[in-house]
Chains A and B, each alone.
Chain A
Amino acid sequence: MTAIAFDNVYRAYQPGEYVLQGVSFRVTEGEVVGLLGKNGAGKTTLLRLALGLLEPQKGSVRVFGQNPRRDAATVKQRIGYVAEDQDLPPFLTVNQVIELHRCLYPAWDDRLVQSLGARFRLPASARVGQLSKGQARQVALLCAVAHRPDLLLLDEPAGGLDPAARREFLEASIELLNENGTTIIFSSHHLTDVERMARRVVMIQSGYLYLDTEADELQEGYSLAVIPAGVVVDPDRLLELHDCLGVRPRRGSVHAIFRCPPANCQSLLVRKLGITNARCVSLALEEMFVELVGSIEPLDQSITSARVQGSPGESSNWKREPAGGWS
């Protein structure tokens, strides 16, 4: 069953300035999806659309087949949400915040609240304003999961947490996943967390769906070629290679991302361009992110045009922007 379906979604906050321009993807029940993108890429907007806090100007958003604006109450019963900048009322105590949420959800599970509260060692009678940032996030998570939602939307859940608190948060989410088969969509800049949690990675860039792939596939099927300084190579020639997804000149050397494993990448460079001393390696998600984001905005226009034209065999997972889309 489909948990969430975004279909050709457009959303602008200012007339004509689209944050999302035609984003489509579906998340099946039980999936854990890591939502990646630079700051301002539109991740939060996507999550808020799913919650029904925003309406798309074009396209449609469906959560468990329902419209989160029209069927707001039913949809919200099934969703748990932790916002990036959760503003819990600072003058309420932890218990009062929990009580407030409890009134809203018939399916509230007091035992889960007890066990998570004990696990996080939350001071029940402390005011929210007195809590540390980590504790405040934990209260927010607790309130988001206590009704055992079918869909958990986490917007930068680990923002500002120390590594131990992040791990605790992660483990609590995984337990929920284990017990309920909850669908989880989370945006994060902690890419090691994404690697641990997500089976699927969706990347948004400049309002477009840039990448949508299995996390394992991203590591096994992609590689970075570092072509050392001194080798004269025309970025256009690289981009003409059908598995080349982006080129990033770096202080003399050239970095190129390829959609093939390192060994194939190596032989491709030798065969097609006669480059024998490139270093081809597979990448951790973090480096992959930096390379992709870095190579998206090419330094010179000729790379742009090559990228935009693309090549016939490129993966349909990679959406390149229309001509003139760069600014």
Chain B
Amino acid sequence: MLIVIDPHSGVPVYRQLMDQIKFHIASGLLKPGDELPSTRTLSADLGINPMTISKAYSYLERDDVIDRRPGLPLVVKAVPDEQFKDRKLDQLKESLAPTVRIVRQLDIDDEEVIAILRAMLCEGEDEA
């Protein structure tokens, strides 16, 4: 699983784990029913305290993102289609939040921001 911990980010490690797993689920890299690595494996792979992984996993369970089954690996929980879409949008909103702050700080007109976003989306299409 593609998880990168950035110790300089100021974001707690467990939060980074949660965010990245949620992102992988929203992007479809992790599908419902996919198994997550065990606490031990992941802690050894990433070089971080196993308790931190447990903490991230239990919060993900609380958020209804993963399923814990006694004695078996954790799996990604299945969600109805519309809820899945909501989660994708939530991901997007979260990553746009810093952009919105910058827009306010630079005092740029809303219409201009939307035009820039539209232009950038078109560029992306050309490349693809």
Contacts and interface: CB of A to CB of B under 8 A. Distances in A.
Interface stretch (B46-54, B74-82, B84-92): B46-54
B51 A178 contact: no
A178 B48 contact: no
Interface string A177-207: 1100000000000011001111100000000
B11 interface: yes
- Tier of interface size on chain B: 20 to 34
A195 B13 contact: yes
B47 A171 contact: yes
A219 interface: yes
Contacts of B14: 216
Interface in B71-118: none
B12 A196 contact: no
- Tier of interface size on chain A: 20 to 34
Given A216-B12, A216-B14, A174 B7 contact: no
A192 B10 contact: no
Interface stretch (A66-74, A98-106, A248-256, A282-290): A282-290
B50 A174 contact: yes
A170 to B, nearest CB: 5
A295 B49 CA distance: 30
Contact of A284 (B7, B40, B50): B7
A177 B49 contact: yes
Given A174-B44, A178-B44, A196-B13, A284 B8 contact: yes
B8 A32 contact: no
Contacts of A284: 7-10
A122 interface: no
B5 interface: yes
Contacts of A177: 49-50
Nearest to A214: B12
B20 interface: no
Given A171-B44, A196-B13, A178 B50 contact: yes
Interface string B21-55: 00000000000000000001001101111111001
B44 A196 contact: no
Given A195-B7, A196-B5, A174 B47 contact: yes
Given A174-B44, A178-B44, A199 B10 contact: no
A192 B7 contact: yes
Point out which of A170, A195, A287 has the most chain B C-beta atoms below 10 A from its C-beta.
Answer: A195
Contacts of B50: 174, 177-178
B8 A178 contact: no
A281 B9 CA distance: 11
A220 interface: yes
A198 B8 contact: no
Interface of B: 5, 7-15, 40, 43-44, 46-52, 55
Please give me the 3 A-B residue pairs with the lowest Cβ-Cβ distance, nearest first. A192-B7, A216-B12, A282-B10
Given A197-B49, A216-B13, A286-B8, 10 more contacts: A171-B44, A171-B47, A174-B49, A178-B44, A178-B50, A192-B7, A196-B13, A196-B48, A219-B10, A220-B15
Interface of A: 32, 167, 170-171, 174-175, 177-178, 191-192, 195-199, 215-216, 219-220, 281-287
